[in-house]
Amino acid sequence: MAFLLDHIAATLVVGSLVLILATLQFRAQHSSVEQAAMYSAKKQTLEFADFLTRELSNIGMEMPEGQRLEKHSSNAYGLTDTLRFWRKDSAGDILKIEYVLVPADTIAYHDTTAVLYQMRRYQNDVLAGQSMPTLRSFNIDLFDAYGVAVPDSLLGQTRQMRIRLTTALPYGDPSRYYLPEIHWGTTLRPQGLE
């Protein structure tokens, strides 16, 4: 009888150890996948931000006063949904560049619904690129030389631009996760707007 009880106790101990090790392995694997996904999202965010910074730094370069910044508007949620401007490329050709924010996806987590957006870039009215479809917010605020906000009706007074964007990483089971976000921002003083 003691022999049988010893085997049952040993089986329970081994089973518990196997269950603990399997749980640890599963969590480590889940964490590793989440880290890889977060790294990819950060890389995409920084690449988009770098491209956007370089492009907006060239607004109005060698352009007449009235052909620099043409349109800036925001949607009902306060996000910049359209930015249209002119610039010259390296060959000296005049380009009309327009950024348009469009809804890309809707995700639900806990009891909240979040809209994810995508920024589309048009060059001379032809789609020339787009951001990742994970933008949670996108704002370009316009300021004059003294840092005072410029209304959309007086775009010619713009001397500085503050760019802020947030990307979200919807990963995992929506009922159990939080929504990791990556925030990025900068303020530019484009020489073409001086």
> Which residue has tokens 């001397």?
159
* Alpha carbons 180 and 174: distance in angstroms, whole number: 12
Q: What is the mean pLDDT of the chain?
A: 85
According to the model, what pLDDT value does residue 143 have?
94
The predicted-structure confidence for 115-160, as pLDDT tens digits, reads as follows: 899 999 999 999 999 998 989 999 999 999 998 999 988 888 889 9
Whether the Cβ atoms of residue 143 and residue 9 lie closer than 8 Å to each other: no
174, pLDDT greater than 60: no
Sorting pLDDT into bands at 50, 70 and 90, what band is 183? Answer: very high
Average pLDDT over residues 13-37: 80
* Tokens found for residue 184: 């990025």
Average pLDDT over residues 92-120: 87
Over the Cα atoms of the chain, what is R_g? 25
* Alpha carbons 56 and 171: distance in angstroms, whole number: 31
* Alpha carbons 130 and 122: distance in angstroms, whole number: 9
pLDDT > 70: what percent of the chain? 92
Average pLDDT over residues 76-89: 90
Whether the Cβ atoms of residue 74 and residue 80 lie closer than 8 Å to each other: yes
Whether the Cβ atoms of residue 66 and residue 82 lie closer than 8 Å to each other: no
175, pLDDT greater than 60: no
According to the model, what pLDDT value does residue 123 have?
93
Whether the Cβ atoms of residue 74 and residue 99 lie closer than 8 Å to each other: no
